[in-house]
Amino acid sequence: MGKQTIKQAIENTVNEGNKAFVPYIMAGDPSLDDLKSQLLFLQEAGATVIELGLPFSDPVADGPTIQDAGIRALENGTTVKKVLAELKAIRSEIHVPIVLMTYINPLFKYGLTTFFTDSEEAGVDGVIIPDVPLEQRSLIEEHMNQTDIALIQLVTLTSPEERVKRLAKASEGFLYAVTVTGITGARSAVSEKLESFIYTLKKHSSVPVLAGFGISTPDQVKEIASLGDGVIVGSRIVDLLHQKKKEEIKELIQAAVGTENTAI
């Protein structure tokens, strides 16, 4: 089977009657030596796409769980260069698309052209850069356009419809619907506005719509995934990996993708 794009992987999952599940993990937590086994575990558990965080000292969109994971990774000497080198070494064994979640400062430091070239060589399929709004996309466009890497846009509950249309049109791979206002982190309740929000996004988007931020239980996975094409779960996955509770991670993934197509 040839390598699938992010969009293809999600659409294939949806066409099989399931919903996409995108787990987020922090590269280098607890150590980069664990990255291969973590990615293989998530792939075997049925992840559709894997979102891989690059640790950064000032992660403005991340809540305490992911901040702590980033600190652990940085303390273990994790750098962007080391993450990309490790990914490149293991990529042939990982068949699901990989999306990097990062901030603009580490990319400036690395060098934008070099970052996108090295990322493509490492088998990266997409990037999420929360602190580069649509209006500043030109900062990275010329560097990114030399590659096939997708730039995934985030859209929030507070975005006016005109902006939603622009973000939906600009997003590649999938459109990331932020289900809460504020930072990431597990929450107990789901916003009532969410259904109409995702309906609006689906109306304007030519790529799949996935919802994330604050999703932490199998019931929430089922409920929120049913509104769009799937879910992204970060803080809860990071927490469970840290606690070595792999069975609970499998339960979260199965809540979206079902069990019949999952190779456990």
Q: Which of 62, 118, 229, 239 is catalytic?
A: 62
Residue 118 has pLDDT above 80, yes or no: yes
Report the SS3 class of residue 65. Answer: helix
User: In the structure, what pLDDT confidence band is assigned to residue 28 with cuts at 50, 70 and 90?
Assistant: very high
Q: For the segment 155-214, what is each residue's pLDDT rounded down to a tens digit?
A: 998 889 899 999 999 999 999 999 876 555 555 555 667 888 999 999 999 999 999 988
Which entry of 16, 33, 44, 51 is annotated as an active-site residue? 51
Q: Is the pLDDT of residue 25 over 70?
A: yes
pLDDT at residue number 262: 37
Beta strands in the chain (DSSP E): 20-26, 50-53, 98-101, 126-128, 150-151, 153-156, 175-178, 209-212, 230-233
Which tens digit of pLDDT belongs to each residue from 53-97?
999 887 666 678 898 999 999 999 999 999 999 999 999 999 999
Q: What is the pTM of this model?
A: 0.92
170 vs 148: CA distance, rounded Å: 15
pLDDT of residue 192: 67
Mean pLDDT, the chain, rounded, equals: 91
62 is catalytic: yes
Catalytic residue at 229?
A: no
Which domains are present in the chain?
A: 6-255 (3.20.20.70)
Give tens-digit pLDDT for 208-255. 999 998 899 999 999 999 999 999 999 999 999 999 999 999 999 999
Q: What is the C-alpha to C-alpha distance for residues 70 and 234, in angstroms, rounded to an integer?
A: 13
